[in-house]
Structure 1
Amino acid sequence: MIGTAEAMNLGVRLGLDPKVLASIVNTSSGRCWSSDTANPVPDVIATAPSTNSYNDGFKSRLMLKDLGLVSNAAKDSKTPLMLGALAENIYRHLSNDATLAEKDFSVVYQWLSGKRP
């Protein structure tokens, strides 16, 4: 989700229409659940939590919890988890805001872009 949010944020800041960008991503190797089902940009996917003010969906605080569980498993098994650690840190910062912590984890798009839902 973070990767999709970053890509969409970059494209929008470069002046691309988010629906056009999503259609390009979804017909290329970038296609994934985060881009074609739960796109983090509001109004790109009618049924995505982002289109419903990031309500419903999987809460950011729960993503942080799950990333913490993965982090602990990685530490216990002495497995490097550099991207996982970065994702955990991002959701920790995001979840420091009580409102964002209760929103769908795709709200990371709003957090990265400096906007509020």
Structure 2
Amino acid sequence: MAGRGVATAMVFLDDVTAGNGALQIVPGSHRAGPAPRDRTEPTGLLVVAARTDVRGAVTVEAPAGSTLLFPGLVVHRSGPNRTGRDRRSPLLCFQPAGRPELAGLPYRAEHLSDLP
């Protein structure tokens, strides 16, 4: 199942605030399994907001140098940066040993329609 066993580390190189598009997460949302995907969205990776409970969403504001770790299935998003300040945050994704490396897999957009 997509996202199971994957963890993400988001390293904040700059201060992140709601104003510059800080990450929002829905704690515990990973327990329900993969969220339903919006099949009309071009990447096929965004969730269907109307079918996803986001009432418990929290905005993660943090100073530069902080790191946020979260499971791959946690519903998350970041908003637009409405400031003149940078919001640089590399994401490092970790997966269990034995899974194929992403770089070695062909990108096939038609497979996005198979995601839940």
What TM-score do the two structures reach when normalised by structure 2? 0.26
1 or 2 for the larger relative contact order (CA 8 Å, sep ≥6)? Answer: 2
The structure with the larger Rg is 2
Q: Which has the higher strand share?
A: 2
